Amino acid sequence: MITKEEAVVLWLDLFEGITLKRKYEILQSYKNKVDIFDSFKNDYNKFESFIDANLFQKMCYALDMNFLNKQMIEYERIKVKVITYYSKEYPKLLKETATPPLILYCVGDTTLLNSECLAVVGTRRATRYGKRTTEQFVTKLSNAGFTIVSGLADGIDTEAHCATLNAGGKTIAVLAGGVYEVYPYTNISLAKEISEKGLLISEHKPYDKPSSYHFPIRNRIIAGLSKGVLIPEAGIKSGSMHTKEYALEANRDLFVVPGNIDSKESLGCNEMIKHLQGCMVTSADDILAFYKKTTKDIVKNKNLQLSLEESLILKILGTEEVHYDELLEKTNLDVKTLNSLLTVMQVRGIIKKLPGNLYSV
C-alpha cells in the first residue's frame, strides 16, 4: 500500500503529455497534496492552459486510490520498487537540487540512494589512458566506501561500473530509458549484475525506450545523487559537460583528471582545469584527502581481519603508492614472506599492484 501523497505522484506520472515543470505546478497548487483527490476534478480552470479537456477527463478517472494501488502492485510484480518525492527513501541530496525527479523506478538495493555517493562520468570514446585512470581511481574510491554513480554509457561510465563491481563495491546506474530498456544493448549483462549487486534507477517507466533528449537531463540525477563528481576523461562535446554544469549548479564538488594536450578525449577536462571549474586530481588519494578519508576508513569499509604483518604493510602504504623495495626495507620481512603476504592481500582485494612494481591500497 502507498500513501496518498505517493499515490498523487504515481498518478501524475501516468500521463506523458505533461512536463515535469507542469507537474510541479499542479502539486504546488494544493497546500495539502491529498486534497487533490477531492478538489482536482473541480479545478479545470487552473490548468486548462496546458491540459486539454480530453486529458483532464482521463486524469480525473485515474485519480483513484484503488486504481493506483493496483498500479503499484503491478510494479511490484515485475520487481520494480517505486520511490516518489514523498517517500521516506527518496535521496536527500537529490531533493536539494533545482529540478529533482518526482519519481524513481528502481531495481536493486534502494538503501544506496542515501549512501555516500560519488559520480564518475566521462567520454564514450575512452582511450586506454582514460580506462586505466578510471579503474585506478574507482577501485580505491569504492574500497573507501563510496557508492559509485554513473550512467551505464559506453566508455568511462562502463569502466566505472565494472571497476566498482570488480572491487566488491557498490554502484548505481542512472538510465536514460526505463530500467528494463537498457542502452547500449551491449551493457544488458552489466545492468543485470548491477541490479543484483547495486542499483538501477530511472525517472522513466520501466519499459520506456530512451530518447535523445533523455540523456542530458538524466545527468542532473547523476550529479544530484552525489556529493562530488569525478571526470577522468572527457572531450569538449562530451555529455559529461552537462553533468559538470549540473554539478556546479547543485554546488557539488568537481574533480577533474588532466590529460594529454594532444588528445581530443581530454580537451574537455583540460579546459575545465584551465578555467578553474574543478579541482585537478591526479590520484584517488587527492579525493580521499579532500574528504579526510584514510587507509583506516578503507579497511573499516572492507570489514577485514588483518594479521600484524598485513596491518604493517597497510600502515606503510597509507594513501601513497609504494615501491616493493621500500616495503621490503620497512617491513623487515624476508622476500618469500613479503611476496606471499602481498599476493594474498591482492587476492583479497586489500591492496593492488601497479605498473613499476608499485603497490597501493
List the single range of 67-81, 124-138, 311-325 with lowest mean pLDDT: 311-325
My answer on whether 213 and 253 are in the same domain is yes
Confidence of residue 244 (pLDDT cuts 50, 70, 90): very high
Look up the domain containing 356 and give its range. Answer: 303-360
pLDDT for 50: 94
Distances (CA, A) of 157 to 123, 124, 130, 234, 260: 8, 8, 11, 11, 20
Residue 272 within any structural domain of the chain: yes
Find the mean pLDDT for residues 99-110. 97
Residue 296 pLDDT greater than 70, yes or no:
no
Percentage of the chain beyond pLDDT 90 is 82
For residue 259, give the H/E element and its range. Answer: none
Please give the distance of CA 117 from its chain centroid, rounded to a whole number: 7
> Alpha-carbon distance 201 to 204, whole Å?
9
Residue 13 within any structural domain of the chain: yes
pLDDT for 330: 92
Residue 39 pLDDT greater than 90, yes or no:
yes
My answer on whether 139 and 69 are in the same domain is no
The predicted-structure confidence for 171-229, as pLDDT tens digits, reads as follows: 999 999 999 999 999 999 999 999 999 999 999 999 999 998 899 999 999 999 999 99
Residue 295 pLDDT greater than 70, yes or no:
no
For residue 146, give the H/E element and its range. Answer: none
My answer on whether 126 and 213 are in the same domain is yes
My answer on whether 120 and 71 are in the same domain is no
My answer on whether 241 and 352 are in the same domain is no
Residue 188 within any structural domain of the chain: yes
pLDDT for 307: 87
Residue 238 within any structural domain of the chain: yes
My answer on whether 154 and 178 are in the same domain is yes
Scan for cell 486510490, then name that residue.
Answer: 65
pLDDT for 337: 92
Confidence of residue 304 (pLDDT cuts 50, 70, 90): low
Confidence of residue 170 (pLDDT cuts 50, 70, 90): very high
